[in-house]
Amino acid sequence: MYNVWENALAEIEQKISAGNFSTWFQDTSLLSAEDGHVVIGVKNSFFIKQLQSKFLDVIKAALINNGVEVKDINFEIQAKVKSKVRPREVVAPTQIGQKLPSIKHLKGTKNFTSGLNSKYTLDNFVVGSNNDLAVAAAKSIINKPGTSYNPFFLYGGSGLGKTHLVQAIGNEILKNHPDYKVLYTPISDFYADFVDSVMKGKGKEFSNKFRSLDVLIIDDFQLIVNKEKSQEEFFNIFNNLHQSNKQIIVTSDRLPSEIKTVDERMANRLTWAGAFDLQLPKFEDKCAILRSKANLTGAEIEDEAIEYIAENVNTNIRDLESELSTILLMSDVRGLTPLELINNGSINVVHEPKLRPTTPKRIVDKVAKSFNLTTSELKSKSRVAHIKNARQVAMYLLSEELHLSTPKIALEVGVKDHSTVIHGIRKIKNDLKLNFTLRDQIAEIKGKIYD
C-alpha cells in the first residue's frame, strides 16, 4: 500500500507545481483502498479542503495509473501529526552490521596483536549523507578484502570518524576471517617500529612482519616523515602487499597530493582505487549521531536539546560528542534536563570553524570599533585609559589569535617597544580572570574577527 502511494505521489509531483506538491502532499499517506473506497491520511482539515477541491482529479488519476480501483476518495486526519514547528525531521540513525562478539574471535592470531580497538564497530558508526559512500566501500571491503577498493584511501578533517571507520573495517574483517592477520598502526608508530628494528639489526624481521599481513591499516598518513629510507620501506611494503592482493587501508586528513612530504609515485599509488572523503555531517546527520550516542549512554535528552547542539557545533563529530557528554554530565549533576540547562543559559555551545583566516589589520579594526575608537586613535600615542585599554586588548588578541611575535604586535598597534606589548598582554590576561565584562567584550570581538 505504502509503495503504491509513493508511486502515485511521484506521478502527482510531475503534474503540479513543486510548491503545491510540497505543501499539500508532504505528510499524506494512503490509509486504505478497499473495494475502491480510498482513504487518504492528511495533517489537518485545511488540507482536506484543499485536496478535495483542487487535487481530487490528480489524485484519482495517479491512483488508477498505479492499479488502484477508485470509486470514491475520502480524507482522514491522522493522529500522527508531524508538528510543523519542529524545523527539520531528525533521521533515525541507520545502523549496519551486527554486534561484534567480544574479543574472543581473535584466537588463531593469539600471539599477534592487531592494534585494533574492539569498541569501534560499524554498528555504532552513524551513517549519513556525509559518509555513506565511504561506508558502502567499507562494506564491500569487509565482504571481500583485497579486491575492489585496494588501497582504500580515506580522508577528511579531524574528528570526522576516519579512525572509527577503518578500525571498524578491521574488526569486521577479523570477525569474518578470524585467521586473518590484521594490523592497525598510525604511521608514526610504523616509523618508530622501523627505526627501532633497524637499530637492533632486525630490519628483515620488520619487513617480514608486514609482508605477512592480510590487512594493513595505516592511520594519520599525513604525518609521514620526509625520511627517504622510511618512505622507501613503506613503499616497498605497500607494493608487496598490493601485488599479493592484500587489503591496504590508509587514512589521512587530506589528499596525498597535498601532503608535501609524499613523493608523487607514492601519492599516485595511494589513490589508485579512488579516494573517499568523510565530510562534515549535515544537520540531520548530526542529530542522528547525537541521538545514537545518547542512546548508547542510556541518558535522556530532549530532541530540542539535540537540535540545539547540532545547530551550534559546526566543527567536527568529536566536538559534537564532547558537547553532548558535557551537557549530559551537567544535567546529571544539576538534576535538570538538558533542554532546561540550555534554556536557562547554563550551557552555551558554539563551535564554529575558523574558516576565514583573519589579519592583524582586521583585529585592530574590530577592537577599535568595539571600543568606539578609530583605528588611528587606537594606534596613537594617547595615554587615555580607555584608549590604552583598547590597545592592550588588541595586543592580546593579536598574540592569542595570530601568535604574532611581540615586536610585530608593537608595530601593528603603534607602540615603540615590545616590552610594552608583553606588559599589555599580561595585563589583559590578568584582567580576564576577574573582569567578566571584559571577557564578554573580548569574546564578542573574537566573534566579529572571524565573522
Partner 1 sequence: MEIEVLAEKLSKALNNVSRIATSKVSLPVLNNVLIKVKEKQVSLITTNLDMAIIDFLPVSSSKDGVITVPAKLLAEFISTLPKEAKTKISTKDNKVSIKADKYSSVINGTPADDFPELPEIDEKKAVIFKMSTEEFKKGMEQVIIASSNDFNRPALTGVHFYTNNKILYTVATDGYRVAKKKLIKNVQSEIKVTIPAGTIQEVLRSINDEMEEIEISFNEDLVRFRLGEIEIVSKLIDAEYPNIDNFIPKDQDIELEADREELLRITKLASLFARHGANDVITCETKTPKTFSIHSIANEFGENDSTIETKVGKDGKISITSKYLLDALNVMEGEEIIIGFSESVDKVTNMAVPMILKNKGSDDYIHILMPVSV
Q: Are strands 152-155 and 275-277 parallel, antiparallel or unpaired?
A: parallel
Task: Examine residue 81 and tell whether it contacts partner 1 (CB under 8 A).
Answer: yes
Binding mask 288-317 for partner 1 (x = CB under 8 A): --------------xxx-------------
Q: How far is the CB of 438 from partner 1 (least distance, A)?
A: 18
Using alpha carbons, select from 254, 92, 219, 217 the residue that is nearest to residue 142.
217
CA dihedral (444, 446, 449, 450) positive or negative: negative
Binding residues among 229-288 for partner 1 as defined by CB under 8 A = none
| Part of the chain binding partner 1 (CB under 8 A), chosen from 13-21, 206-214, 220-228, 436-444 | 13-21
| Part of the chain binding partner 1 (CB under 8 A), chosen from 43-51, 111-119, 267-275, 350-358 | 43-51
Q: Which is nearer to partner 1, 79 or 385 (CB)?
A: 79
Task: Take residue 141 and report the three cell numbers written for it.
Answer: 571491503
Task: Take residue 24 and report the three cell numbers written for it.
Answer: 499539500
Q: How far is the CB of 95 from partner 1 (least distance, A)?
A: 23
Q: What count of Cα atoms within 13 Å lies in the side-chain half-sphere of residue 257?
A: 6
Which of 37, 71, 84, 361 contacts partner 1 by CB under 8 A?
Answer: 84
248/267 Cα distance (integer angstroms): 14
As a whole number of Å, the end-to-end CA separation of the chain is 50
Find the angle CA(178)-CA(182)-CA(187) to the nearest 5 degrees.
165
Q: How far is the CB of 81 from partner 1 (least distance, A)?
A: 6
| Part of the chain binding partner 1 (CB under 8 A), chosen from 82-90, 179-187, 285-293, 370-378 | 82-90
Which of 15, 37, 49, 429 contacts partner 1 by CB under 8 A?
Answer: 49
Q: How far is the CB of 19 from partner 1 (least distance, A)?
A: 5
CB burial readout 350-375, b (16+ within 10 A) else e = eeeeeeeebebebbbbbbbebbebeb
Largest Cα separation within the chain, whole Å, is 92
Q: How far is the CB of 295 from partner 1 (least distance, A)?
A: 16
The radius of gyration of the chain from alpha carbons, rounded to an integer in Å, stands at: 30
Q: How far is the CB of 346 from partner 1 (least distance, A)?
A: 9
| Part of the chain binding partner 1 (CB under 8 A), chosen from 61-69, 78-86, 258-266, 369-377 | 78-86
- Residues forming beta bridges with residue 216, ordered by sequence position: 183, 248
Number of residues that bind partner 1 (CB under 8 A): 31
Binding residues among 86-145 for partner 1 as defined by CB under 8 A = 86
Task: Examine residue 45 and tell whether it contacts partner 1 (CB under 8 A).
Answer: yes
Which of 335, 376, 433, 436 contacts partner 1 by CB under 8 A?
Answer: 335
162/155 Cα distance (integer angstroms): 7
Which of 1, 15, 22, 361 contacts partner 1 by CB under 8 A?
Answer: 22
Task: Examine residue 50 and tell whether it contacts partner 1 (CB under 8 A).
Answer: yes
Which of 19, 67, 101, 357 contacts partner 1 by CB under 8 A?
Answer: 19
Which of 66, 78, 207, 420 contacts partner 1 by CB under 8 A?
Answer: 78
Which of 28, 38, 47, 170 contacts partner 1 by CB under 8 A?
Answer: 47
Task: Examine residue 83 and tell whether it contacts partner 1 (CB under 8 A).
Answer: yes
| Part of the chain binding partner 1 (CB under 8 A), chosen from 71-79, 98-106, 239-247, 416-424 | 71-79
Which of 208, 268, 344, 430 contacts partner 1 by CB under 8 A?
Answer: 344
Task: Take residue 423 and report the three cell numbers written for it.
Answer: 606588559
190/227 Cα distance (integer angstroms): 13
| Part of the chain binding partner 1 (CB under 8 A), chosen from 83-91, 175-183, 429-437, 442-450 | 83-91
Q: How far is the CB of 304 from partner 1 (least distance, A)?
A: 8
Q: How far is the CB of 79 from partner 1 (least distance, A)?
A: 5
Query: Under a CB-based contact definition with an 8 Å cutoff, are residues 156 and 162 in contact?
Result: yes
Q: Which is nearer to partner 1, 49 or 119 (CB)?
A: 49
Task: Examine residue 334 and tell whether it contacts partner 1 (CB under 8 A).
Answer: yes
Query: Under a CB-based contact definition with an 8 Å cutoff, are residues 296 and 269 in contact?
Result: no
Q: How far is the CB of 82 from partner 1 (least distance, A)?
A: 9
- Residues forming beta bridges with residue 184, ordered by sequence position: 217
Three-state DSSP class for 115?
coil
Task: Examine residue 46 and tell whether it contacts partner 1 (CB under 8 A).
Answer: yes
Q: What is the DSSP letter of 37?
A: E
Q: Which is nearer to partner 1, 112 or 283 (CB)?
A: 283
Query: Under a CB-based contact definition with an 8 Å cutoff, are residues 51 and 75 in contact?
Result: yes
Task: Take residue 391 and report the three cell numbers written for it.
Answer: 590597545
Query: Under a CB-based contact definition with an 8 Å cutoff, are residues 100 and 171 in contact?
Result: yes
**CA of 317: how far to CAs of 44, 79, 130, 135, 314, in Å?**
38, 35, 11, 16, 9
Number of Cβ within a 10 Å radius of residue 295: 13
Contact residues: partner 1, CB under 8 A? 18-20, 22-23, 43-50, 53-54, 77-79, 81, 83-86, 302-304, 334-336, 340, 344
